[in-house]
Amino acid sequence: MIFVADLHAREGAEDALHQLLAALAAATADEPGALAYSVRQHLDEPARFQVSEHYRDRAAWEQHMAAPYLREALDRFPQLLQAPPSLASYAERATLPPAPLSVPEAIRQRRAVRHYRPDPVDPAVLDELLELALAAPSSWNLQDRQLVVVTSEQGRQALTHATGGQPQAQEAPVMVVFLADCQAHTRDRSDIWTQARANQAWSEDFIAFFAAQSQAFQEALAARGALREYAIKDAMIAASFFILAAQSRGLATSPMNGWDEALVKRAIGAEQRDDLAVALLVSLGHAAAQPLPPGRRPAALQVFREHLPPS
């Protein structure tokens, strides 16, 4: 919900009103239900101010109205204003899409979000995120991952059950299951060579060499029982790309653990696919509130040069 208040300062009270409204904006920024708060001053008539407030829902606005700092500000208004402020409420119908974040910005701002607003995810944005996830690197360009996008109520309920009732699958409008294809090397991969050839990325000699060497590598993994491990690594890299791409577009995610693999596979119709392993579940949507960063241990405890110190 959006509320717009117009205020007219008494003569000589412009600076005091500006300081009061700026303090309100700073205090409101800490409210979990506040999405935006803007204070404007008229360019030609500096005694006129406008405050635009955007809240997640009416309950969030009512919580704001009950805040002690707001009550204190309202008590000062008669001293600062020529007349009581006029207030109008609006529902947002359209807005400019936020500018995508840079990769460092997305990494620094990302949080695992457990609770979501019911707002849908733009299908075009979702398609872009999936495309970016599939751009992630994979061992020998095998692309041994599959993504299942779940948006139906029935499907998300099944994933809620598979995750032991975690709120992400219940609230987020989109769930993505990242699967590791442990037998990808046994399938026809000629389309990979065809695309590389068409893009003039690989020569015929390289294609022949690459096809033979990659097959030998995968067969060696099979002999060591390591196919699942390698395929899960590739699926996890794709999930990481998806998570950061979502953050860059202003969407929230949560990489989910604590699920029952058999129940997840049943939820997506893969219960008979022993060649597939569940790597990760990721929720996607609009955050109900942005969690505060818990912080990370200092690099000195986790990053070492050349070799590990003695234990």
| Across 114-127, average pLDDT | 95
Where does the chain show beta strands of DSSP type E?
Answer: 2-8, 34-41, 48-55, 86-90, 145-150, 174-181, 252-256, 276-285
| Same-domain pairing of 249 and 220 | yes
Contacts of 164 (CB under 8 A, 6+ apart): 258, 259, 260
Q: Which domain holds residue 269?
A: 103-285
Say if 57 falls within a structural domain. Answer: yes
Query: The domain spanning residue 241 has which CATH number?
Result: 3.40.109.10
State the total domains in the chain: 2
| Same-domain pairing of 264 and 127 | yes
Say if 137 falls within a structural domain. Answer: yes
Give the per-residue pLDDT at 208: 95
| Across 151-177, average pLDDT | 97
pTM of the model: 0.74
| Same-domain pairing of 65 and 205 | no
Per-residue pLDDT tens for 226-249?
A: 999 999 999 999 999 999 999 999
More confident residue, 18 or 32: 18
Query: The domain spanning residue 7 has which CATH number?
Result: 3.30.70.100
